Structures are given as C-alpha cells and as structure tokens.
Chain A
Amino acid sequence: MRIGSDKNQTETGLDQVGFEKLFDAYYDELQHFIFFKSGDAEVAEDIIQDAFLKLWEIRSTVRVETARALLYTIAANLFANRYKRMKLNLKLQLTIVEDRTFETPEFEMEIKEFDQKLQRVLSGLNENNRTVFLMNRIDQMTYNEIAATLNLSVKAVEKRMKKALEHIRKEIEQKF
C-alpha cells in the first residue's frame, strides 16, 4: 500500500511520474477515507480530486515519504471546510446481498433490515470515531497505520475504536 523507497526518497519535489504513482497508490483509500466521513461517494471523489490538485500545486515542496499523511490532511481539511455538519446518510454496498438467493424472502428482509439499521447507526457515529473504525474494518488498516496516516497516537486510535464499537453495540441492541 505504501510507496516503496527509491533513490528520490530524500529529495524534495515530485515529477509527473511520482505524482501518478501517488495517485495510483492512494486514490482508493483516500476516497474511502472521505466517504467514511461524508457517506457520499460523489463528495468523496470531488474532495480527492481537489486534494490531488492541491498536491500538484505544491509538488516542488512535497516529499514522497510524507505525501500520504499530507494527502490525508489536505483531504480532511477540504472536507471540513466545505461540508460543515453535513447530514449524513451512509450508503455502503453490502456484498453479501449481491448475486445471492436467500432461503426465504422473510430472511432476505431480515438481512436487509439489519443492514439498514447498522448503516443508520454508523451514520450516527461521531465522525472521527466512525472514520477510524471503518478504516480498520473495511480497509483493514492496522492501528499503527491509521495512527501514522492521521497523525494520531496509537492510543487515540484505540480509544476511537473502542468508542465506536461501544456505540454501535449499544444502538444495535437497543434497536433490535
């Protein structure tokens, strides 16, 4: 997932090739990152476009090894400035309902209902907690990795994970 070291590593500045490499390596996870915050694929994609554009503007000062965290920071700032207190309605795709037949239509309903409830609960989570939680669970980033990309301590990541889980558990149990 990370761009490996090469001879340019300690040099400052990005060329077209280096830039494309960054885009290729980090586009998806960044799009996910803003999606976890916004719940909207379109918004996420726009923000990431602009984040890379910004990176291109300042390319002469960018170092490859710090680019990932920088992109996360830029994206998070762009999102925070543009979409203050956006009402959230997470629409994740549930892979288990694709191309499947269920035992009974009732059971299919049950699965879909649980899915909707869970997505509502996730939408209701505190933005930071949700983002960290989904980065870990959906993108399978380790706590250390998340801490490094978001400039957080591992302890802070653990705390957010714990809060997210507690909230989800509580809400789901209440609503069932």
Chain B
Amino acid sequence: METGKNRHINSQVLSKTTFDNLSTDEKIETFVQAYRVPQNKSKAEAFRILQTKMQNHETEKPVRNLRVYWSAAASVLLLALLTTIYFYQQKPSEIVAGLGKHVDYTLPDGSTVNINADSKIIFSESRFAKKRVLKLEGEAFFSVQKGIPFEVETKLGKIGVLGTTFNVYSRNQDFIVTCLTGKVKVSSNDQDIIITAGEKAELVSGALQKTSGLPDEKVAGWRNGEFHFESIPLISIFEEIERQFNVSITTSGLENRYFTGDFTNKNLTETLETVCLPMNLEYEITSESQIRIKQKKE
C-alpha cells in the first residue's frame, strides 16, 4: 500500500534502442508500472490533522445508522449472488496431459480430443456452447462433431473447421496440421489455406505449405502409441521420446541429422534401439530417467 511498492524499472529500459524496440503495449506497461501516486502530506501528518478534526467533532452521534444495516444486508446479498455466479461461470477449464501420458477428453459438444504427452487444451466451459473455441499447447487429435464453427488456437496459428477429424502439432517453432477426414482451414500470419483428407499444412519459415498423399495410419498414429517420422530432425525425435516416456535425454552433435522410421511408446529400450541402431548411435541409461546418446565408436 505504500508508494514504495511500485516496481522500479531497471536502467536498461532507458537506453534508446531498448525503448524504441518496445511494442506499444510494452511501453504502456513500462510507464504505468513506473508511476507513483503523489502525496502532499505524509500519512503521519494526515493522521495528526485527522485527530484534531476528530476532537472538534467529539460527540459521537448515538443514532444507529439504518443505512449501515442496509449496506450490511446488501453485502450479504451480493456475496450470495457472487458465489452463485462463481459456481455458474467457472474459470476456463484446463485439460493437461503430463509427460509420458495421453489423455482422452470429450468436450461439452460431444467432440473428442486425444491429448498427447506434455500438451494441454484450455477452454471456457460456460461459453463453449455458444462459441466452440479452445487453445492448444502441444499436440492433440480432434474429432469434431458437426455444428457451428470449431476453432483451435495455437501459438503459431489457428485452425477452423465445421466437423472433421484432424491432428495439430504445435511445439517450439513447429506448427503442423494434418487432416484425416473433412476439411480444415489453417491460418497463420494472415495466410489461410484449406486442407482436406490426407493433406497436411506445415509452417515452413513463416509460410504455410501444403503436402498431400499421407497414408491414413500415419496420421496421428500416436493415439495408438505408434509414431511415424519422415525426415524429421533427430533432435525432435529424442524430444518426442522424452515426452512419451517422461525421461531426460542428453545428446550432442546431432544437429543436422534426420530420421525416417517408426517407434512405439510401449518399451523404452526397444524404442531407443529402433532409433539409435540405424543412426549409428549408442545410448546409455545413466539413472532411472536419464539417458545419454553418443556416437558409436568405430
């Protein structure tokens, strides 16, 4: 409550380049948080003045103020009302699949979502009936009931559909949408493209690209614990293994290598073999959830 509570800005904000690089919102925040409310007199001074006034005012009116009772009654009513509202309008629901876990969830409209490991969806239960919108972080497969438009928002782009099945992968800088049935509209950076069954939209250096001719079983195979990769950076493969088995993997020197192949999420050592063997790598399980990947010595 004291004015000193205001966060002070660190000095680097004051450099011209930093300031110029701030967005309008950031500028506003920076300034607003650096504002302090002026006071003409200190709290102690104010209290001394108040005390003098209180003495001059001396006689307390013995009349019980009806308005206080009214406001108390009103407060109780308001509290009851707020409690009711609170229970009706719940906070947005967050459905999270942790590391090494998959979660199947049915949305209020009957559409289903399979959420892959280390991913989550966020939506407002109370508003979902009017507007089918949800946020996704990570990867999920959607099977959407026909009805009003259904939208998925991710960090890098948006997907709009009416009723179809599709998979969304949104991690780091990767944004990939695969369509299994029906039609899907994918938007990113003001670019819209439509993909249909067996097609895939992928964000490649800022632009959406369409690929077609994907075999059914390779789309979102992860739902059955099967993972298919075609020329995917090896590092991403190990990241996927980390997510599916809830382990931590250290690698080095794999930057420009790509992997094509399959694995399942049933058995960790089997999976590591499947990936390491063709890539001429060795793995070492150092502790329960620590794995190190090395180049195989010739």
CB-defined contacts of B29 to chain A, threshold 8 Å: 137
Q: How far is the CB of A7 from chain B (nearest CB, A)?
A: 21
- Interface bits A72-106 vs B (CB < 8 Å: 1, else 0): 01000000000000000001111110001011100
Q: A34-70: which residues lie under 8 A (CB-CB) from chain B?
A: 35-36, 41-42, 45, 48-49, 52-53, 56-62, 66, 69-70
Interface status of B61 (Cβ within 8 A of chain A): yes
Instruction: State the majority secondary structure of interface residues on A.
Output: helix
Tell which of A24, A62, A138, A168 touches B28, judged by Cβ atoms closer than 8 Å.
Answer: A168
Does the CB pair A138–B35 fall under 8 Å?
Answer: yes
CB-defined contacts of A1 to chain B, threshold 8 Å: 1
Interface status of B255 (Cβ within 8 A of chain A): no
CB-defined contacts of A32 to chain B, threshold 8 Å: 37
Does the CB pair B19–A70 fall under 8 Å?
Answer: no
CB-defined contacts of B25 to chain A, threshold 8 Å: 169
- Interface bits B41-85 vs A (CB < 8 Å: 1, else 0): 101001101100110010011001100100110010010001001
Interface status of B5 (Cβ within 8 A of chain A): yes
Q: How far is the CB of A138 from chain B (nearest CB, A)?
A: 6
Instruction: State the majority secondary structure of interface residues on B.
Output: helix
Interface status of B89 (Cβ within 8 A of chain A): yes
Interface status of A11 (Cβ within 8 A of chain B): no
- Return the chain B residue nearest A141 by Cβ: B1
Does the CB pair A95–B34 fall under 8 Å?
Answer: yes
Q: How far is the CB of B79 from chain A (nearest CB, A)?
A: 9
Interface status of B2 (Cβ within 8 A of chain A): yes
- Interface bits A128-161 vs B (CB < 8 Å: 1, else 0): 0000001001111000000100010111000000
Q: How far is the CB of B28 from chain A (nearest CB, A)?
A: 6
Q: How far is the CB of A55 from chain B (nearest CB, A)?
A: 10
Does the CB pair B14–A102 fall under 8 Å?
Answer: yes
Q: How far apart are the CA atoms of A32 and B82 in the complex, in Å?
A: 26
Q: How far is the CB of A60 from chain B (nearest CB, A)?
A: 7
Does the CB pair A95–B35 fall under 8 Å?
Answer: yes
Q: How far apart are the CA atoms of A57 and B61 in the complex, in Å?
A: 7
Q: How far apart are the CA atoms of A96 and B78 in the complex, in Å?
A: 41
Q: How far apart are the CA atoms of A156 and B61 in the complex, in Å?
A: 36
Q: How far is the CB of A113 from chain B (nearest CB, A)?
A: 11
Tell which of B36, B47, B49, B89 touches A95, judged by Cβ atoms closer than 8 Å.
Answer: B36
Does the CB pair B75–A92 fall under 8 Å?
Answer: no
Q: How far apart are the CA atoms of A26 and B47 in the complex, in Å?
A: 12
Q: How far apart are the CA atoms of A107 and B15 in the complex, in Å?
A: 9
Q: How far is the CB of A16 from chain B (nearest CB, A)?
A: 9
- What are some 24 contacts across the A-B interface (CB < 8 A)? A26-B1, A28-B1, A41-B40, A42-B40, A49-B46, A49-B49, A49-B53, A53-B50, A57-B57, A61-B65, A61-B68, A73-B71, A95-B35, A95-B36, A96-B13, A104-B16, A110-B19, A115-B31, A118-B28, A138-B37, A151-B75, A153-B85, A169-B28, A172-B28
With A58-B61, A95-B36 known, 9 other A-B pairs at CB within 8 A are A23-B47, A23-B50, A28-B43, A61-B64, A70-B71, A95-B34, A96-B9, A138-B32, A172-B27
3 closest cross-chain pairs (CB), A and B: A92-B35, A28-B1, A29-B1
- Chain B residues within CB distance 8 Å of chain A: 1-3, 5-6, 8-9, 11, 13-16, 19, 24-25, 27-41, 43, 46-47, 49-50, 53-54, 57, 60-61, 64-65, 68, 71-72, 75, 78, 82, 85-86, 89
